[in-house]
Amino acid sequence: MGAEVEYSKLRWQGVKVALATFFVIACWGFSPTGIRIGLQGYDPTHLALLRFLIASAFMALIASSMRISLPRLKDLPLLAVLGFFAVSLHHIALNFGQAGVSAGASSVLIQSMPLFTALLAHFVFKERVSAWRWTCVAWGLIGVAIVITGDRGFGHIDARGLLVLLAAFSWSVYFSLQKRYSHRYDGLTMVCYTIWAGTFFLLIYLPGLMGEIVNAPLRVNIAVGVLGFFPSALAYLAWAYVLKHMDVSRASMSLYLTPPMAIAIASALLGEMPSQWVIVGSVVVLSSVLALNLRREQVGLKTLKGA
């Protein structure tokens, strides 16, 4: 009887993890479409600020109920850097970039983040990068070039696609640093201070925000509200829950479903269909990132067996 109860608990936990994973994919899949709608009533800088004012207020409620610890004084520069790359630079670059890039293409380009992580590992953190990883990075960058040059019809290059790549690079810096310093705080605490620090930097764009809030159409304000609550706050909490109950590499692979979700949402809400070149490029990018992660997981397993 006890074994049946334990099995039932494990099965229910598996269902909850699967639902949380789907929720994260849906939230982050909506983000490119939400940004496109938000840009119909907001300047890219004001859109980023309002989105994270909402997220910051929500995370403050969560933090007060969970009573997270105060940051150590010596960690304030680190938290400021994390906030700058994860929130400020990432979302300013993404918003300006999406003004000229389709939602589907934007989602694919953001998924190129592991390619930049590999480059950072070699050139900044002086880690050894294998020939296999270099091959994956080169293959992925070819896919990135296909997406950028084929988003609006092959040969019609919009330089704003490079801003979306800057957003992906910014996120790779954030995740690289977070991985190295995550032992200092638990996941919720790190997310809260990262969001608050990034929002603080965005306050420079506060002048003129209220006027845009008043003048923006209702559907635009609803989209921005959804961006603030779901992709920017609730999705991070759900992702922390997923990582608590699932291996990081397996959980990360599920995020490769985000671009197809983004394309489906953009098609339904914006009537935006990706070009054939974006589809080809997305296959190249995602296959390269998947190969990177599968190789890393295999190396990790061999290391454990050798130990």
pLDDT at 219: 96
Determine what percent of the chain is predicted with pLDDT higher than 70.
Answer: 88
Stated pTM of the model? 0.86
Give the pLDDT band of residue 245 (cuts 50, 70, 90): confident
List CB contacts of 184: < 8 A, sequence separation 6 or more. 72, 75, 190
pLDDT at 254: 78
Give the pLDDT band of residue 175 (cuts 50, 70, 90): confident
Give the pLDDT band of residue 80 (cuts 50, 70, 90): very high
Task: Encode pLDDT of 134-174 as tens digits.
Answer: 898 899 999 999 998 888 766 667 778 899 999 999 988 98
Of 63-72, 121-130, 246-255, the range with the lowest mean pLDDT is 246-255
Nearest to 270 by CA among 140, 104, 23, 91: 104
Structure tokens at 172: 């790779």
pLDDT at 89: 97
* Residue 83 pLDDT greater than 90, yes or no: yes
User: Residues 196, 56: contact at Cβ < 8 Å?
Assistant: yes
Give the pLDDT band of residue 280 (cuts 50, 70, 90): very high
Of 65-69, 114-118, 259-263, the range with the lowest mean pLDDT is 114-118
Mean pLDDT of 174-201: 86
Task: Encode pLDDT of 202-215 as tens digits.
Answer: 999 999 999 999 99
